[in-house]
Amino acid sequence: MPPRSKRQVDDQEAAQILEAARPRSFWSGTITFGLVSVPVDLYPAAREERSSLRTLDEEGTPLRRQYWCPKEERPLDADEIVRGVEVSDGKWVTVTDAELEGLEPEKTRDISLQRFVPRQDLPPAYFETGYVLTPGGRSTKAYKLLAAAMEESGRAGIATFVLREREHVVAILAEHGILRAETLRFPDEVRSPREVGLPARPKTIPPTTAKAAEKAVATGKGTALPKDLLEDPREAAMQQLVQKKLRQKKDVARTEEAGPEMSEPVDLLSVIRERMGAPGGTKTRVRRRT
């Protein structure tokens, strides 16, 4: 075998770096409804890029938290720790790991669509965590058909699926040919206006007040969301402070602990475009379920 050139080695290393930087799905399964199934991969819709602060000692060594018993005034080992639910002030019911495992739902790889509802009927307060669904496997026909049908009808799918030992209710949304999933909060997790102390809605509104409100809305009307409102001024100030201290070599602590290598953020849309353009052959992943 002839030796590889320096250019070939560089290209291979670059490809490995790009592959390592690609976002990876953390759940794979199938959207099921009726006799049809659509293989999908699940990705987080957001990424945390803000500066992360850790607690250090004066020499820069990262500190670890430890459970402390105030009654015996000593640290506790892992085998001395149990979990419990408080049922009244100072009264607890403890549960074992085996009992918690018995409460877990049956593990499945299906996102079971129950029904389709108008998108405007979904209160934003119920949205909890967003995800992006990409086509699973090499065929994208079923994915495209489902996304197009939902987008044209203006409806969202309500489904259930198991993630991290919990069953979630999710809303499946279609936008620009891409499927998204939003886990939904349960009703008892959402506070009502009465609970937060909002006054009762007035039966009538004075005409002068209504005109003033209409004028204020018309004055602030725009065609797009201002981009400067989506910037985090605190994060920008934090990065400026960190870079300033690095240049001045001030307050820089070094430890032997190696932190994770930072890679350039990869746009998840590039992964979706690649999946959507993948050859599917003559077979489709839309299959009848027995």
- What are the tens digits of pLDDT across the range 188-232? 888 888 888 888 888 888 888 888 888 888 887 777 777 777 777
- Label residue 137 exposed, middle or buried (CB < 10 Å: 0-12, 13-18, 19+): middle
Residue with tokens 């499927």: 179
Residue with tokens 């108008």: 118
Residue with tokens 């990869």: 266
Complete domains list, the chain, with CATH: 26-45+110-190+268-276 (2.40.290.10)
Answer yes or no: is pLDDT of 169 > 60: yes
Determine the distance from the C-alpha atom of residue 90 to the mean position of all C-alpha atoms in its chain, rounded to a whole number.
36
Q: What is the reported pTM?
A: 0.64
Cα–Cα distance for residue pair 112/34, rounded to 1 Å: 9
Cα–Cα distance for residue pair 250/202, rounded to 1 Å: 59
Residue with tokens 């994770």: 260
- Label residue 111 exposed, middle or buried (CB < 10 Å: 0-12, 13-18, 19+): buried
- What are the tens digits of pLDDT across the range 102-147? 888 787 888 988 899 999 999 999 999 999 999 987 778 889 999 9
Cα–Cα distance for residue pair 203/206, rounded to 1 Å: 10
Determine the distance from the C-alpha atom of residue 52 to the mean position of all C-alpha atoms in its chain, rounded to a whole number.
18
SS3 244: helix
Residue 267 has a pLDDT of 59
Answer yes or no: is pLDDT of 166 > 80: yes
